[in-house]
């Protein structure tokens, strides 16, 4: 919270530190003196300081709620804001912009005792966070499927596909996180394939890819093989190794369909040949 500018006096630095501490200081019970350093106590005692402190915290909570709309819709406004009031003081913004505030909220919910009965909540928060990260990621022209199709067979095995700068993906084992997220995300299309004949969620594992290859953030279902495939690509492994990883996750995976699916979604931003896989006579 504290920002030290080179050349500023020690007294100003002390004031900045006290001001930051006062913003986070818990309110004393009515009539009780503030139990803290004198410099902090003087700030807390100012009649208007509580208003400023509440405004700062409210701004962070409002930003967090805007960045996690599916979570907020699932738990309701009061529950969300109560949880956010616990999260915010321990995770203040590190940048002036609150556009992507809350990068640790999913992990917080995974260990938040009141969320214990909602085991899917942290996964939903993770997809909300994926959407935000895809939204603010740098622009990048997606790799065209035709560019991959033009590669000769001997190079195709050696190529490394680099995931798009905005691409985020995850597999959620045993939980229909993608369906829950989608049905609670404002302005998303109706859930397809994630509910059973009664309209309830089919409680099974699901994966998702969130990406912004062009102007808008898009998402698509991704099976376990697809997630393993992208994990291998992100690790810099060749297409051959990535295909092997996909088959290890699901022996029945359709690799041709998987490639077409991810390329059409704009999941890749570039490709290169792995020099370590060059034939002996080319080295």
Q: Where are the alpha helices (DSSP H) in 137-254?
A: 145-149, 153-156, 177-183, 224-234, 239-249
**pTM exceeding 0.85:** no
pLDDT above 70 as % of the chain: 76
pLDDT in the model for residue 234: 97
Encode pLDDT of 63-80 as tens digits.
999 999 999 999 999 999
Encode pLDDT of 155-196 as tens digits.
888 999 999 999 999 999 999 999 999 999 876 555 455 544
d(CA 238, CA 227): 15
Domain ranges of the chain: 47-135, 139-282
pLDDT in the model for residue 171: 98
Query: Three-class SS of residue 53?
Result: helix
Reply yes or no on whether the pLDDT at 30 is more than 70: no
d(CA 93, CA 50): 19
Nearest residue to 209 via CA among 262, 269, 279: 262
């Amino acid at each position: 919270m504290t920002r030290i500018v080179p050349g500023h006096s020690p007294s100003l630095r002390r004031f900045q530190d006290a001001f930051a501490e006062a913003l986070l200081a818990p309110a004393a019970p009515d009539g009780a003196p503030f139990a803290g350093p004198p410099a902090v106590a003087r700030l807390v005692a100012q009649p208007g300081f509580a208003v400023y402190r509440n405004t700062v915290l409210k701004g962070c909570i409002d930003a967090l709620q805007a960045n996690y709309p599916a979570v907020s819709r699932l738990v309701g406004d009061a529950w969300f804001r109560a949880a956010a009031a616990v999260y915010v003081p321990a995770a203040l913004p590190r940048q002036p912009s609150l556009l992507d505030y809350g990068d640790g909220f999913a992990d917080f919910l995974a260990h938040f005792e009141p969320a214990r009965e909602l085991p899917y909540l942290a996964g939903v928060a993770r997809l909300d966070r994926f959407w935000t990260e895809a939204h603010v990621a740098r622009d990048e022209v997606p790799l065209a499927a035709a560019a991959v199709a033009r590669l000769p067979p001997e190079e195709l095995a050696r190529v490394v596909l680099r995931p798009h700068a905005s691409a985020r993906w995850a597999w959620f084992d045993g939980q229909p996180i993608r369906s829950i997220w989608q049905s609670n995300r404002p302005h998303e299309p109706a859930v397809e394939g994630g509910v059973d004949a009664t309209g309830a969620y089919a409680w099974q594992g699901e994966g998702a890819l969130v990406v912004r290859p062009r102007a808008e953030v898009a998402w698509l279902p991704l099976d376990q093989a697809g997630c393993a495939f992208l994990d291998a690509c992100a690790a810099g492994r060749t297409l051959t190794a990535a295909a092997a990883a996909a088959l290890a996750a699901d022996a029945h995976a359709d690799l041709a369909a998987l490639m077409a699916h991810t390329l059409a979604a704009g999941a890749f931003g570039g490709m290169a040949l792995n020099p370590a896989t060059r034939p002996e006579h080319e080295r």
